[in-house]
Amino acid sequence: MSDVRRSHEDGFGEEILAWASMLAVLPIPAALVDADGHIVDRNRWIEAEVGAPLVDLESVKEAPGLAFGIDEATRWRVRPLDEGAGILLATAEREDAGDHLLRKFFSSGDSLFVVYDQFGRVVESNAAWENLLGYGHDEVFGLDSWTLLPPSDLETRDRVERELRTQGRSEPVFEMRTKDGAYRLVQWALHFDTSVGRCFGIGRDITEENRLANELHRMAYTDELTELPNRTKLIDTLEAILGTSATPAVLFCDLDHFKVVNDSLGHHTGDLLLKAIADRIGALATAPDSFFARLGGDEFVFLLNDSSWDIATATAERILGLLGEPFSVLGHSLHANMSIGIAMAQAEGDRTAETILGEADTAAYKAKALGRNRYRKFDEGLRATVDRRFNVEAGLRAALANDQFEVHYQPIVALPGAGVVGLEALVRWRASDGTLMLPGEFLDVAEEAGLMPDIGREVIKQALTVAAEFADGGRPLPMSINASAAELGCGADYVTQVIDLAAELGLDPSLILLEVTESSVVAVESILPTLNAFRSYGVRIGLDDFGTGFSSLSHLRTLPIDVVKVDRTFVSDLLGDQVTRAVTSSLLNLCAALGLDVVLEGVETTEHASAAEQLGGTMAQGYLFHRPMPLPELRKLLGRTPDGDADSSRLRRNSPLAAERTS
């Protein structure tokens, strides 16, 4: 008769019988003893028979939890199992207990090893498992493992038990509560052996690994400044929604005149304003069916997972309403307005995240054009705009790859048209079908697509080559080249590009006139160092379209410029508007006092030319004299022009447009 069966027949209950069955797997001497310290049951590491005395329980009083054996050679750890039955568990504390091979295997390495009985109670564990949870070795035997899971995680327990029962194995990841109440995330490989009724587990603490993964995920999908979801997260979320039958709405929110805050109060103030805006509008996106993200800069997107035009427009109105109250930032009371574009992902349309985002962006752009601080819905009329932008951008990229850009040249003349004193390089796009496209048909798209530096590089190459050609032929003519905001934003790289090419061609940098617009001056913060760098090499700077900006006079004083090109709107009103005549006359006198040359643009009639000359104008450009022309036509024009026709005596000696006379 087995010891277990005898213990059962002696009247011990099912619970004690279950404890007795666990003794067999322990790798050290262990026994169940009664209140007198006599053996009720024992494992194979104990040779004494059932009923024999094993421990001196009186010695427990001297050292709680510890008792001496009857043989006085062994110390035992004892713990009560059943107060009513008076049964205790005794495990040996012999010095050689750790020499058992299985115990050594359990104790080696950083992996967590544990053995459970069929009720989920701990039979054996290694030091790594005990240290992780903060328990001593004498505390874990019989511990209910399920009590270590969060109370709310019943689903994990049910799933693991079901898999162990049906498949014999499970590989869960769950939190385990430590003795001090904290939780550690552990990845397990569990195997239930039905032959012995034991579950064997090997685990790995992945708490720190999971924390790092979560941090990397947060960094990849979160805007650092506002802590809102970023563009990547927005695209992923929108793509997931588009994979369902839902109809999401995208509200593209673009702040109005935000650059003024950065320029006037500094970027730190601007950043704090962005955070305040994110917090205020983000409060609308607390529902699970909405989402608020920052794309970057001053652009945000409010996403409605499944919406309608009515709901989307109502949301846009709420957003605009929230911005009605000023923001208090570092002692400043700041107002912020938005232009909002709304696009819906129609079931029959092109359901991609980038497409719908582009449509909303286009609608926001239209809202700005209509006066800002409003919303605009994307419709079929705007779809034509999107299609055009897409087709033009694709064509521009092909044009760059296939050398389809060519430069035409418009002469600048000395009034009253005595001769050519300079050239302006103007880009043209020769489409694959032979159509010649003017800048107004593609430059806006090129700027939005970030292609201006590439196009500008081609213009500079052709224009400087032509300037060097005429200079080598004895006709040095200053070449005016328009510099876009994107090119100026390249800073030192742009300067190096121009100067290195001039050196390669043997072209005097003083024959290069770089034209910048007032909008470029406002858009590019680093424009002053860039312009000063050009001037240090001898390149001249011209202010183009003068009179169209809001701070033109201040630019005459603060910018390192040599030439002012008066916008055509002034010239067209010279004949019938006395105010325009007075302003133009004062402007010419002011520029003369500042040592600046002036070119009047858009001179199309002899009356305009005469009026300009009467007011003191010396140089002009316009259809009255010459239209922009391709290089062969320019060569023909200058080839038949008498050398003395370019009357440079009408210009000041130090004029950047003064061409050196040749004999």
Fold designation for 101-209: Beta-Lactamase (3.30.450)
Q: Which amino acid is at 406?
A: E
pLDDT value at residue 489: 83
Fold designation for 3-99: Beta-Lactamase (3.30.450)
- Nearest residue to 363 via CA among 372, 375, 373: 375
H or E segment to which residue 8 belongs: helix 3-9
Phi first, then psi: what are they for 89, rounded to 5°?
-100, 130
Q: Strand locations in 433-539, DSSP E?
A: 436-437, 479-482, 512-517
pLDDT of 251 strictly over 90: yes
Fold designation for 411-650: TIM Barrel (3.20.20)
Tell me the C-alpha distance between 298 and 255, whole Å.
6
Alpha carbon distances (Å) from 223 to 214, 219, 229, 275, 304: 15, 8, 6, 11, 19
What is the pLDDT averaged over residues 375-392? Answer: 83
Say how many C-beta atoms besides its own lie within 10 A of residue 202's C-beta.
14
By the 10 Å C-beta count (0-12 exposed, 13-18 middle, 19+ buried), 334 is classed as middle
The share of the chain scoring above pLDDT 70, in percent, equals: 86
Say how many C-beta atoms besides its own lie within 10 A of residue 538's C-beta.
14
Q: Find the helix packing angle between 452-472 and 380-401, rounded to 10°.
A: 50
Residues 331-373 pLDDT 10s? 889 989 999 999 998 766 567 898 899 889 989 988 987 888 9
- The answer to whether the beta carbons of residues 303 and 259 sit under 8 Å apart is no
Residue in the block written with tokens 């009639």:
605
Q: Residue 626: which pLDDT band, with cuts at 50, 70 and 90?
A: very high
- In this chain, the answer to whether the domains covering 101-209 and 411-650 adopt an identical fold is no
Tell me the C-alpha distance between 632 and 71, whole Å.
118
Q: Strand locations in 194-248, DSSP E?
A: 198-205
Tell me the C-alpha distance between 137 and 554, whole Å.
82
pLDDT of 494 strictly over 90: yes
Which pairs from 579-583 meet CB under 8 Å and 24+ separation? 581/611, 581/615
- The answer to whether the beta carbons of residues 319 and 284 sit under 8 Å apart is yes
Q: Strand locations in 171-298, DSSP E?
A: 173-177, 183-193, 198-205, 249-255, 290-296
pLDDT value at residue 281: 94
Mapped onto helix, strand or coil, the DSSP state of residue 435 is: coil
Token representation of residue 654: 């130090």
Q: Residue 645: which pLDDT band, with cuts at 50, 70 and 90?
A: very low
**Mean pLDDT over each residue of the chain, to the nearest integer:** 83
Token representation of residue 632: 């062969």
pLDDT value at residue 16: 64
Q: Residue 522: which pLDDT band, with cuts at 50, 70 and 90?
A: low
Range name among 67-71, 396-400, 592-596, 646-650 with the lowest pLDDT average: 646-650
Token representation of residue 324: 């009605």
pLDDT value at residue 84: 62
pLDDT value at residue 652: 32
pLDDT value at residue 523: 61
- The answer to whether the beta carbons of residues 82 and 16 sit under 8 Å apart is yes
Query: What dotted CATH number matches 222-378?
Result: 3.30.70.270
Range name among 23-27, 256-260, 479-483 with the lowest pLDDT average: 23-27
Tell me the C-alpha distance between 265 and 256, whole Å.
16
pLDDT of 210 strictly over 90: no
pLDDT value at residue 534: 95
Tell me the C-alpha distance between 640 and 645, whole Å.
10
410 Cβ contact partners less than 8 Å away, ≥ 6 residues apart:
423, 424, 426, 621, 626, 627, 628, 629
Mapped onto helix, strand or coil, the DSSP state of residue 515 is: strand
Mapped onto helix, strand or coil, the DSSP state of residue 544 is: strand
pLDDT of 294 strictly over 60: yes
Q: Residue 21: which pLDDT band, with cuts at 50, 70 and 90?
A: low
Tell me the C-alpha distance between 434 and 355, whole Å.
30
Q: Percent helix, strand and coil across the chain, each rounded to 5?
A: 45, 25, 30
Tell me the C-alpha distance between 31 and 53, whole Å.
11
- The answer to whether the beta carbons of residues 122 and 143 sit under 8 Å apart is yes
- Nearest residue to 465 via CA among 504, 438, 430, 427: 504
Q: Residue 17: which pLDDT band, with cuts at 50, 70 and 90?
A: low
Residues 413-453 pLDDT 10s? 998 877 899 999 999 999 888 889 999 889 888 887 889 99
Q: Residue 285: which pLDDT band, with cuts at 50, 70 and 90?
A: confident
The residues that bridge with 411 in the sheet, in sequence order, are: 423
Looking at residue 659, the DSSP 8-state letter turns out to be P
- The answer to whether the beta carbons of residues 531 and 564 sit under 8 Å apart is no
The residues that bridge with 426 in the sheet, in sequence order, are: 408
For 244-308, where are the alpha helices, taking DSSP H only? 258-265, 267-282
What is the pLDDT averaged over residues 577-593? Answer: 84
Kindly give the pairing relationship between strand 597-601 and strand 619-621.
parallel
Mapped onto helix, strand or coil, the DSSP state of residue 79 is: strand
pLDDT value at residue 513: 96
Residue in the block written with tokens 């694959």:
432
Give the domain ranges of the chain.
3-99, 101-209, 222-378, 411-650
Give buried/exposed letters for 217-234 (b at 16+ CB in 10 A, else e).
eeeebbbeebebbbbebb
Tell me the Cα Rg of the chain: 43
Token representation of residue 198: 């034991």
What is the pLDDT averaged over residues 553-582? Answer: 82
540 Cβ contact partners less than 8 Å away, ≥ 6 residues apart:
478, 510, 512, 513, 514, 562, 563, 656
Token representation of residue 140: 């874990």
pLDDT value at residue 578: 82
Alpha carbon distances (Å) from 248 to 301, 342, 385, 493, 593: 12, 11, 22, 43, 61
Tell me the C-alpha distance between 319 and 249, whole Å.
14
Residues 48-82 pLDDT 10s? 888 899 988 887 766 667 888 887 777 888 888 76
Range name among 181-185, 256-260, 491-495 with the lowest pLDDT average: 256-260
